[in-house]
Amino acid sequence: MADRPDVVETGGTAGGLDQIAQLDLDRLDRRGYPEAVFCEGKTADQVGRIATALADQRQVSLFTRVREEHVQAIHAVLPDAAYDATARIVAWPPTPPEPTGGPVLVLAAGTSDLPVAQEALLTARYLGRHAELVVDVGVAGLHRILAQVPRLRAASAIVVAAGMDGALPSVVAGLVAAPVVAVPTSVGYGAAFEGLAALLTMLNACAPGVAVVNIDNGYGAGHLAAQIAAP
């Protein structure tokens, strides 16, 4: 097992080495999109070992929810990997592939939603789509989203990151023909229940064509948008 490049091991019990990961290196061929590495809960050593296993692979590698020690471990193996502190993403190779398919537009209802929106944006870009970001277009100032209608209607898929009341995806879906990927964020005061209120609002959207991902799941939202906008 230790000789396989897709199996990462670390020191364990007296019986041998314990596996920490089995990388799905065939996922790109099977699904058209590579596996990402969710780093939250992993040690820097584990992330560094996974980065070493991915170094020779000819595919995009995304490391999500990284901490500073993860970034250092990845850069020790992949020194030119791109790091975005807002999105908490490390990407390698550092330059996104040439975009294909339709455009993806990512909306952040407020500046506080920007980390999740940025995660969605970079995910869509590194999965091969042309993606742009629009910030601070929440429903508290409806004129701000209405001013973006021409850009909204030019998109093949739209990601909406919103906390608080989570109302923006339903508004956007009523203005466009493209599918809307709603991602609730854990932004808001106590009754927002760390994104649960926004999640329930989005699940109850009165406008059809809204798909909802989990709270703060910018990666999942960007991935789904990239699939929708595929050529």
Segment 189-224, tens digit of pLDDT: 999 999 999 999 999 999 999 999 999 999 999 999
Domain boundaries along the sequence of the chain:
7-92, 104-228
And the tokens for 112? 């506080």
pLDDT computed for residue 65 by the predictor: 98
Banded pLDDT at 10 (limits 50, 70, 90): very low
In terms of CATH architecture, what is 104-228? 3-Layer(aba) Sandwich (3.40)
Banded pLDDT at 11 (limits 50, 70, 90): very low
Banded pLDDT at 22 (limits 50, 70, 90): confident
Kindly report whether the global pTM for this prediction surpasses the value 0.75: yes
CA distance 88 to 102: 25
> 153, 198, 200: which is closest to 180 by C-alpha?
153
